[in-house]
Structure 1
Amino acid sequence: MGLKSLSTFTRSLFFLFSLSSALAFTAPVNFTTLAFDDGFSPLFGDGNLQRSQDGRRVRLLLDESTGSGFISQDLYMHGYFSADIKLPSDYTAGVVVAFYTSNGDIFEKNHDELDFEFLGNIRGKDWRIQTNVYGNGSTSRGREERYNLWFDPTNGFHRYSILWTQKHIIFYIDSVPIREVVRTPAMGGDYPSKPMSVYATIWDGSNWATNGGRYKANYKYAPFTAEFSNLVLKGRPSDPIEQISAKSSESGDSFGENTELAHAQRLSMNGVRHRHMTYSYCYDRARYPEPPSECVVIPSEQKRFKDTGRVKFGNGHRRHGKRRTRNPMPESDHKSASI
């Protein structure tokens, strides 16, 4: 084995060791999984929301008539939210699966949001994942990052988690942190600071999701099915009407105070980002001539992304259609089939 091959082999071993070390850590908070009816309600989709007989697994379907989704029964002021998700297989261009928190139905002009969005692709191409952070309606200042996954998300379930505290936001995949947003004073209202609901949806994002809208959803392959299990809602239920201000609502909240990333977790996060991150707003100079205050600019990453924020691709889109309403649904929308 040559020196170059040995170096590559050594780096690969180090990455695998770091990844396995992070997987050895427990979730950032103790949690108990919920049956669907214990924490969630159907949002839209009629019979396209299917529950297992024991109520602990849910399928969301997208066909020509509608997508589908569900929503938490409570809003939360900080928390840890998690689900095991299996994505649709085969041709999935234009399909978007989302697991996220939002309060856009209550605060229409100044909503907060934390996103996992899974973007489908043509046959033979992998799903991509996007994370995003909005605060106080700052949709014009999106904080998107995109990644290629290091596994096939259609072959089995993988755990996707969001930790939101006063201090930081962490996105996890299979207990491995992939992104941390640390709150800074300069962020101001751009840091989510109002109670949010937890959502899961599947919908048609043909106008942007795959190669900027070049490839559309093809309903010859429908129904597109996303499966959810091991649902977790861990946080402080909160009534947004009683929130006098972000400052007063947070003054007595200590959720997640001891959730700092361990050294091995941070190494794993850096490894995942180095190998799999394909876009970061922090390096997109066209959008942000000066990186936002929460960005940690790493010279090696900056060189790789140059001034576009992209490694291989980028669409520069705004996403649409992620139905958020909590308004009462027609009676038929509350019915759900069994798996």
Structure 2
Amino acid sequence: MAFSYISFDSQKTRLFLTFTFQLLLLFVHQSRATNFNKHFDITWGGGRGKIIGDVLTLSLDRVSGSGFQSKKEYHFGRIDMQIKLVPGNSAGTVTAYYLSSQGPTHDEIDFEFLGNSTGEPYTLHTNVYTQGKGEREQQFRMWFDPTSKFHTYSIVWTPQTIIFLVDETPIREFKNMESIGVPFPKHQRMRLYSSLWNADEWATRGGLVKTDWTQSPFTASYRNFGVKARSVLFGLDSTRDQKLKWVRENHMIYNYCTDTKRFPRGFPPECTVKV
């Protein structure tokens, strides 16, 4: 039996494979790219919010910050956004990323990133409002540099639970505990909002470190927005539960459920439930 061999020019083959791989990467990138004009309106900032290609940026200077909101309202689901936070000396600035309804009895699910002095870690501030009442703050130190590249911040909201995720690592879960009298945000539709603004009266070390305006404009960047608008089944399996415990034990710096000065007469009822 005779065998025939096909000879390839190795350099041409490498070029062909490289070109094919680059096309594949381009296809994947485009499939994940976000048409921000389709999903969001820049609502304030006098031109400080910009959409360039598949990236949206918000900026803050001494005159004004900026912000955007989703065109649609959502009622349960999962919201994902990749964010690259303000680099360098961002003390006094706050980058807020949250779901909220409107009115005095609004519901709200908050990520807030509190700026830092150069070399210090960001503080990730979370809160849950129901019927206009919040006071459920938990804060964390970031275990990575959130300014060097994009990281994914997700809110999973179902009738049973709210889960905050950072790069798929759960940092907080707020369960539906209406059975013991704890209100849960489930009746109002919410829009997604984000803003970059000056809060140097409280944001960094309780307001001790002020905004250094010589560093402005401060800029945060966004890409790869994703939403599953319908109610989704998502819980903490054993692996995610272990990650949540790791974050709480190693990176949580404030928990309203342990603040005896704030609640001298006893903690809110949800604090008595083991999580």
Q: TM-score, normalised by structure 1?
A: 0.68
Q: 2:271 aligned with 1:295, yes or no? A: yes
Q: Distance in 1 between matches of 2:186 and 2:131?
A: 7
Q: 2:59 aligned with 1:61, yes or no? A: yes
Q: Distance in 2 between matches of 1:114 and 1:187?
A: 19
Q: Cα offset for 1:291?
A: 3.0
Aligned to 2:142: 149
Q: Which runs of 5+ in 1 are unaligned?
A: 1-30, 237-254, 302-339
Q: Distance in 2 between matches of 1:175 and 1:235?
A: 18
From the superposition, tell whether residues 70 and 92 of structure 1 become closer, same or farther in structure 2 (CA, over 3 Å).
Answer: same
% of aligned pairs identical? 37
Equivalent AA in structure 2 for residue 157 of structure 1: F
Q: 2:261 aligned with 1:267, yes or no? A: no
Aligned to 2:50: 50
8 A Cα contact 1:39 1:73, kept in partner: yes
Q: 2:175 aligned with 1:182, yes or no? A: yes
Q: Which among 108, 111, 122 is matched to residue 113 of structure 1?
A: 108
Aligned-pair Cα RMSD in Å: 1.9
8 A Cα contact 1:94 1:119, kept in partner: yes
- Aligned to 1:265, the other structure's residue is in SS state helix
Q: Cα offset for 1:88?
A: 1.1
Q: Which runs of 5+ in 2 are unaligned?
A: 1-30
Q: Which among 126, 129, 132 is matched to residue 124 of structure 2?
A: 129
- Aligned to 2:86, the other structure's residue is in SS state coil
- Aligned to 1:220, the other structure's residue is in SS state helix
Q: Cα offset for 1:193?
A: 2.9
Q: Which among 260, 263, 283 is matched to residue 258 of structure 2?
A: 283
Q: 2:217 aligned with 1:223, yes or no? A: yes
8 A Cα contact 2:176 2:184, kept in partner: no
8 A Cα contact 2:137 2:255, kept in partner: yes
Q: Provide, for residues 144-184 of structure 1, a one-character-per-residue CA deviation record: whole Å limited to 9, x for no partner.
A: 00000110111111100001110000000001111001111
Q: TM-score, normalised by structure 2?
A: 0.83
Q: Provide, for residues 177-222 of structure 1, a one-character-per-residue CA deviation record: whole Å limited to 9, x for no partner.
A: 1100111123443535311110111000111101111111111000
8 A Cα contact 1:134 1:192, kept in partner: no
Aligned to 2:203: 209
From the superposition, tell whether residues 195 and 98 of structure 1 become closer, same or farther in structure 2 (CA, over 3 Å).
Answer: same
Q: Distance in 2 between matches of 1:90 and 1:34?
A: 27
8 A Cα contact 1:78 1:166, kept in partner: yes
Q: Distance in 2 between matches of 1:177 and 1:33?
A: 24
8 A Cα contact 1:113 1:192, kept in partner: no
Aligned to 2:157: 164
- Aligned to 1:282, the other structure's residue is in SS state helix
Q: Distance in 2 between matches of 1:181 and 1:33?
A: 31
Higher Cα Rg, which structure: 2
Q: Distance in 2 between matches of 1:90 and 1:33?
A: 27
From the superposition, tell whether residues 194 and 225 of structure 1 become closer, same or farther in structure 2 (CA, over 3 Å).
Answer: same
Q: Cα offset for 1:294?
A: 2.6
Q: Cα offset for 1:33?
A: 5.9
